């Protein structure tokens, strides 16, 4: 999983990810199997907010903000 995340986010995060909506607007998600990586691109850096199972990712990330 780590290699897939590094490869995709280092090369072109906006090409592999999908933008999130509503309360998570401005953040992106990357699907890796049953897991979701929530991240934000700030200038040339990628900030990962969390990596969670798809069933609980949005609730968990929403409470962290």
The class level of CATH for 2-64 reads: alpha beta
- What tokens appear for 15 in the block? 């090409």
39 and 28 Cβ atoms separated by less than 8 Å: yes
> Do the beta carbons of residue 26 and residue 58 sit within 8 Å?
no
* Spatial separation of the C-alpha atoms in residues 24 and 27, rounded to whole Å: 6
Distance (Å) of CA 3 to CA 7, 10, 53, 56, 59: 6, 10, 17, 23, 26
pLDDT of residue 55: 87
Evaluate if residue 63 carries a pLDDT over 80. Answer: no
Q: Is the pLDDT of residue 43 over 70?
A: yes
The pLDDT value recorded for residue 19 is: 97
pLDDT band at 59 (very low <50, low <70, confident <90, very high): confident
């Amino acid at each position: 999983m780590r290699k897939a995340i590094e490869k995709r986010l280092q090369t072109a995060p906006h090409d592999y990810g999908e933008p999130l909506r509503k309360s998570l607007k401005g953040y992106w998600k990357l699907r890796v199997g049953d897991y979701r990586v929530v991240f934000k691109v700030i200038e040339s850096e990628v900030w990962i907010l969390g990596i969670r199972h798809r069933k609980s990712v949005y609730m968990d990330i929403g409470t962290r903000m």
